Amino acid sequence: MSARIILFGATGYTGGRTAEAMAARGLRPVLAGRDPARLAAVAERLGGLETARADVTDEGSVAALVGPGDVLVSTVGPFVKLGRPAVSAAVDVGAIYLDSTGEPPFIREVFERRGPAAERTGAALLTAFGNDYVPGVLAGALALRAAGEGAARVDVGYFITGAGRGQAFSRGTLRSVIGVATEQVYAWRDGALRTEPAGARLRTFDVAGRPRPGVTIGGTEQFALPRLAPGLRTADVYLGWFGAASRAVHLGSRATPWLGRVPGTSRALAAMAGLLTRTATEAPSAEALAGMRSHFVAEVFDDSGTLLARTRLTAPEAYTITADLLAWGAGRAAGHGVRGSGALDPVAAFGLDELTAGAAEAGIVPADGSY
Ligand SMILES: NC(=O)c1ccc[n+]([C@@H]2O[C@H](COP(=O)([O-])OP(=O)(O)OC[C@H]3O[C@@H](n4cnc5c(N)ncnc54)[C@H](OP(=O)(O)O)[C@@H]3O)[C@@H](O)[C@H]2O)c1
C-alpha cells in the first residue's frame, strides 16, 4: 500500500503543474494551500482530489498536514521566506519531504542544519527536487561513474536554448531569485564546503554545438558529488542562463557580498520584488517556453586537469522537468520509500539507476541518444 502524498502549494504555477503531473501518473495527492476555494477548483479539475487548508503564517496548520510515513511535497516559495514550516513538519513526524526550491541558502540549511535533526526522527529530506538541481546531480554522478578512479574535479553546467519572446519564468521564480540575490553561495573547494559569492567563477562549456559561458552558483551537487567520489577536491555548478552577460555577472560578483550591507539595498530589492508582483504574470509565457530546451553537462577531470569523462543530458523546459521530477519522486517514495534518512541527495535517496530511469520519464535523456 502506498503512503499518502500531500502537495503543499497546489494553487501556484509550479504546484499546479506538479498536481497535474501527479494526476497523470495516477497519483491522488491531498492538495494543500491557504485558499480553500482555489484549491477546490484545482481538485475538481483533476478528478475530485482531497484538499487541506494550511498557511505558513500558522505553523500549526502546516504541522497538521503531515503524519509519520507521509510524503510531503512543497512548492511554497520563496523558500528562504516561506519554506521552513513544511521542513519542520516533516522532520517532527519522520516524514519524507521533497521541495521545488532552487535557493542556495535554503538548500545549505537543509543539508547542514535540518539533515542531522531528520536523522534523529527518521525523516528523509529531498530538497531542490526539480530542474534545480536534480539533472546536474544525475549528470555528475554518471560522469563520475564513467571516470572511475582519479576524479579530482567535476564541473556541472545548466543551459537553455530556444527561448522564445516573453516572460520565461513564473512570478514565483522571479520572487525567489530576487530574495537570494544578495546572499552568499558556496562551493566545494579543496575537499571542503566554502562560502563564496555567486558568479565567482566563469567558464565556457560546449553546448548544442557552440561554446556557452556559465557562472558559479550553489546547488545540490556540492553536497551530493563528494559523497559519491570522496577524493573529489572541487565540485562546481555553473549557470548558463545569462548568456553573453555572464562576464558582467562574474565581474559583478566581487561586489555581491557588499550589496547586502549597503543601506537601502534590501529596500531596493524589496521594491523590485513588489514591482514584479504587479507587472509579472503568474505563469511564464507559453511563447517563451515553446521550443525551449534544457541542457546539462558534467565534466570530470583528474588532478592534472585531464578530462576523464563527460556526460551531456537534454530535456524540455524547466517547469515541465520540475513538475515531472516531483511527481516521479513523490510516487516512487510513496510506493517504495527512500534509502536512508536525513538530508538526502537524489542519488542517495533512489540509487543511480533508479534515478536515471525516473529522470528519463521526466524527459531528461542523454544528448547523444545513449548513456
Ligand atoms: N527548482 C526549480 O527548478 C524550480 C522550478 C520551478 C519553481 N521553483 C520554485 O518554486 C517556488 C514556487 O514557484 P511558483 O512559480 O509556483 O510560484 P507561485 O505561483 O507564486 O506559487 C507560490 C505558492 O505558494 C503559496 N503561498 C504563498 N504564501 C503562502 C502562505 N503564507 N501559506 C501557504 N501557501 C502560501 C501560494 O499560495 P496562493 O496561491 O494562495 O498565493 C502558491 O500556491 C518558487 O520558489 C520557485 O523559485 C523552482
222 lines ligand 1 (CB under 6 A): no
Q: Parse the chain into domains and list their residue ranges.
A: 5-130+320-365, 134-318
Rounded Cα distance, 177 and 120, in Å: 32
> What does the pLDDT profile of the chain (371 residues) look like in tens digits?
689 999 999 999 999 999 999 999 999 999 999 999 999 999 999 999 999 999 999 999 999 999 999 999 999 999 999 999 999 999 999 999 999 999 999 999 999 999 999 999 999 999 999 999 999 999 999 999 999 999 999 999 999 998 777 777 788 887 777 666 667 899 999 999 999 988 899 999 999 899 999 999 999 999 999 999 999 999 999 999 887 777 777 877 765 554 444 445 555 555 655 665 667 788 888 887 888 899 999 999 999 999 999 999 999 999 999 999 999 999 999 999 999 999 999 999 999 999 999 999 999 999 986 55
User: Which atom of ligand 1 lies at the shortest distance from residue 173's CA?
Assistant: 47
H/E run at residue 74? strand 71-74
Q: What is the pLDDT of residue 266?
A: 55
State the CB neighbour count (10 A cutoff) for residue 254: 11
Best residue among 18, 34, 56 to mutate for probing ligand 1's pocket (most ligand atoms within 8 Å of CB) is 34
158 lines ligand 1 (CB under 6 A): no
State the CB neighbour count (10 A cutoff) for residue 45: 13
Query: What would the DSSP string read from start to end of 53-67?
Result: E--TTSHHHHHTT--
What is the CA(155)–ligand 1 centre distance, in A? 29
User: Peptide bond before 105: cis, by omega within 30 degrees of 0?
Assistant: no
Q: What is the pLDDT of residue 258?
A: 42
Best residue among 14, 79, 87 to mutate for probing ligand 1's pocket (most ligand atoms within 8 Å of CB) is 14
82 lines ligand 1 (CB under 6 A): yes
81 lines ligand 1 (CB under 6 A): no
Rounded Cα distance, 199 and 10, in Å: 33
Closest residue by Cα to atom 33, ligand 1, is 55
220 lines ligand 1 (CB under 6 A): no
Best residue among 55, 58, 100 to mutate for probing ligand 1's pocket (most ligand atoms within 8 Å of CB) is 100
* Torsion sign, CA atoms 19, 24, 25, 26: positive
State the CB neighbour count (10 A cutoff) for residue 85: 22
9 lines ligand 1 (CB under 6 A): yes
User: Which atom of ligand 1 lies at the shortest distance from residue 15's CA?
Assistant: 16
- Please enumerate in sequence order all residues whose Cβ is within 8 A of that of 62, keeping only pairs 6 or more positions apart, or say none: 8, 54, 55, 56, 85, 86, 88, 89
Q: Which three cell numbers stand for residue 149?
A: 578512479
Q: Name the CATH code of domain 134-318 (choices 1.25.40.10, 3.30.360.10, 3.40.50.920, 3.40.640.10).
A: 3.30.360.10
- For the entire predicted model, the pTM comes to 0.94
Closest residue by Cα to atom 42, ligand 1, is 12
- Contact (Cβ atoms closer than 8 angstroms) between residue 115 and residue 343: yes
480553500: which residue's cell?
36
Q: What is the pLDDT of residue 124?
A: 98
Q: What is the pLDDT of residue 37?
A: 97
Best residue among 7, 11, 183, 317 to mutate for probing ligand 1's pocket (most ligand atoms within 8 Å of CB) is 11
Q: Which three cell numbers stand for residue 217?
A: 552558483
Q: Which three cell numbers stand for residue 189?
A: 573547494
Rounded Cα distance, 269 and 220, in Å: 26
What is the CA(75)–ligand 1 centre distance, in A? 5
Rounded Cα distance, 147 and 231, in Å: 13
Q: What is the pLDDT of residue 272?
A: 57
76 lines ligand 1 (CB under 6 A): yes
Domain 5-130+320-365: CATH class, spelled out: alpha beta
Residue 81 Cα distances to 59, 101, 274, angstroms: 13, 11, 15
What is the CA(8)–ligand 1 centre distance, in A? 9
DSSP bridge partners of 312: 297
State the CB neighbour count (10 A cutoff) for residue 296: 29
Q: What is the pLDDT of residue 282?
A: 85
What is the CA(77)–ligand 1 centre distance, in A? 4
Closest residue by Cα to atom 46, ligand 1, is 173
What is the CA(309)–ligand 1 centre distance, in A? 37
Residue 174 Cα distances to 37, 48, 281, 370, angstroms: 25, 31, 10, 35
284 lines ligand 1 (CB under 6 A): no
112 lines ligand 1 (CB under 6 A): no
Q: What is the pLDDT of residue 168?
A: 76
18 lines ligand 1 (CB under 6 A): no
216 lines ligand 1 (CB under 6 A): no
CB environment 201-220: b (16+ within 10 A), e (fewer): bbbebebeeeebbbbbbbbb
